[in-house]
Amino acid sequence: MAIAGDSLRVRLEDVARAASVSPKTVSRVLNDEANVSDATRKRVLASMEAMDYRPHPSARSLAGNRSFLVAMLYDNNDNPASTYLAEIQDGVLEACDEHRYSMMVRPLRMRGDDFIRRLDALISDHHPDGVVLTPPITDYAPLLKRLRERNVPYASVSPMLRNGVIGVTMDEQAAARAIVEHLLALGHRRIAHVIGIADHGASRWRLAGYREAMAAAGLPEDSELVVQGGLRSAPVSPPRANSLRWSSGPLPCSPPTTTWPPVSWNARRASSTR
CB under 8 Å to 24, separation ≥6 — which residues?
A: none
CB 236 within 8 A of CB 267: yes
Question: Which pLDDT does position 18 carry in this prediction?
Answer: 93
pLDDT mean by block of 10 residues, the chain; 274 residues: 51 91 88 86 92 73 73 77 82 89 86 83 92 88 92 90 78 92 92 80 87 94 81 43 44 64 42 28
Look at residue 45 and give its three-state secondary structure.
helix
pLDDT at position 56: 67
For 224, residues 6+ apart whose C-beta sits below 8 A from its C-beta are 252
Q: Cα–Cα distance between 74 and 110 in angstroms, integer?
A: 9
- Residue 228 forms beta bridges with which residues? 195
> Of the candidates 180, 248, 252, which has an alpha carbon nearest to the alpha carbon of residue 212?
180
Look at residue 64 in the predicted model and tell me its pLDDT. 57
List the domains of the chain with CATH numbers: 11-64 (1.10.260.40), 69-168 (3.40.50.2300), 172-260 (3.40.50.2300)
Tell me which residue of 269, 221, 222, 274 sits closest to 249, measured CA to CA: 269
